[in-house]
Amino acid sequence: MENSARLYAELPRAVSRGQITAHYQPQFDVDSGEIVAVETLARWTHPKFGAVAPSLFIPLAEDLGLIDELGDHMIGLGCDAARDWQRRGRAIEVAVNVSALQLADPDFARRLLRAVEQHQLSPRLLTIEVTESAEIIDVSVVAERLDWLRSVGVTISVDDFGTGHSSVEQVLDLRATELKIDQSLVRDESAAARTLLAAVVTFAHDKGLRVVAEGVETESQLMRVRELRCDRAQGYLLGHPVEKTEIDRMLQAHDR
């Protein structure tokens, strides 16, 4: 069987058996330099092919009608981590990626809040990053569901801002409370990109949104992100996506 056909055939079992795991990538407060949050990223290690990229298997899961199951599993893994840190007295926020298809499910918000409740977490510790793998069909309906989540304290983040998919329009339509600037914009050191980025940060702060810069790979990018008054930074320079135990170690090292 061709490799992609094999992945297609094997993903349902990987999902139903909980073989999709999570890596967590730290997010740092730009001013204090402390870890304040992590992003939960799905990982599938295939016995034969090794690590399969989420950019490959998330669309497959959507196609196979498995995204709700996989998404709920990821929300569970995010909540597990947040609860463990909460028990140790650390309020680390956890972001989970949610595709437009998941938001289309009328039951999504209720299941999310049930998971938060079951984990005895404050909804304030949870962020959903809306990723644009498919068109949001009915923005007003989705926005209403997001209103409910936001009203109880969940952060609504628009992921990959600055790419073709995410726009000011989407931020306003979804009444987002966080904006995640895509790595392509963070990396672009041209004067035009800098002007654009400055305008985006001003717009976001005027609207009371938090700004996270993603894909920070160099000291000069970090400096620029700081100068532009982004609130949080995430990227390989500061920390790769890693197993939870590795984040535990980073938190402990910081405490010492």
126 contacts 86 by C-beta, under 8 angstroms = no
Instruction: Name the burial class of residue 128, with classes exposed (0-12), middle (13-18) and buried (19+) by CB atoms within 10 angstroms of its CB.
Output: buried
In the bound state with Mg ion, the residue whose beta carbon lies nearer, of 150 and 180, is 180
* Residue selected from 10, 62, 160, 231 as contacting Mg ion according to rule CB under 5 A: 160
Radius of gyration, CA atoms only, the chain: 18
Question: Running DSSP on this structure, what letter comes out for residue 47?
Answer: T
- Scan for tokens 């904006």, then name that residue: 179
Quick one: which of 9, 29, 53, 252 contacts ligand C2E (CB under 6 A)? 53
What's phi and psi for 129, nearest 5 deg? -95, 110
By the rule CB under 6 A, 131 interacts with ligand C2E: yes
What pairs with residue 161 in β-bridges?
163, 166
- Cβ 183 to Mg ion, closest distance in Å? 7
What is the closest distance, in whole angstroms, from the C-beta atom of residue 224 to Mg ion in the complex?
18
Q: What are the DSSP calls for 124-140, one per residue? A: GGEEEEEE-SS--S-HH
Beta bridge partners of 52: 44
Question: Of 143 and 213, which has the nearer Cβ to Mg ion?
Answer: 213
Of 32 and 55, nearer to Mg ion (C-beta) is 55
Among 15, 37, 52, 58, binds ligand C2E (CB under 6 A): 58
Question: What b/e sequence results for 47-60 when a residue is b if at least 16 CB atoms lie within 10 Å of its CB, and e otherwise?
Answer: eeeeebebeebbeb
Give, in degrees to the nearest 5, the angle at Cα 99 between 159 and 92. 60
Q: How far is the CB of 89 from ligand C2E (least distance, A)?
A: 27
Binding mask 162-201 for ligand C2E (x = CB under 6 A): ---------------------x------------------
Distance CA 248, CA 7 (A): 32
**Which member of 72, 80, 188, 217 binds ligand C2E (CB under 6 A)?**
217
- Near Mg ion in 73-132, by CB under 5 A: 97, 129
Judged by CB under 6 A, the residue of 138, 172, 236, 243 near ligand C2E is 236
Among 97, 127, 155, 177, binds ligand C2E (CB under 6 A): 97
Decide whether 10 or 37 has the Cβ nearer to Mg ion.
37
Nearest of 94, 86, 77 to residue 25 by alpha carbon: 94
Name the residues that contact ligand C2E, by CB under 6 A. Answer: 25, 41-42, 53-55, 58, 71, 74, 97-99, 129, 131, 159-160, 183, 214-217, 235-236, 241
Name the residues that contact Mg ion, by CB under 5 A. Answer: 97, 129, 159-160
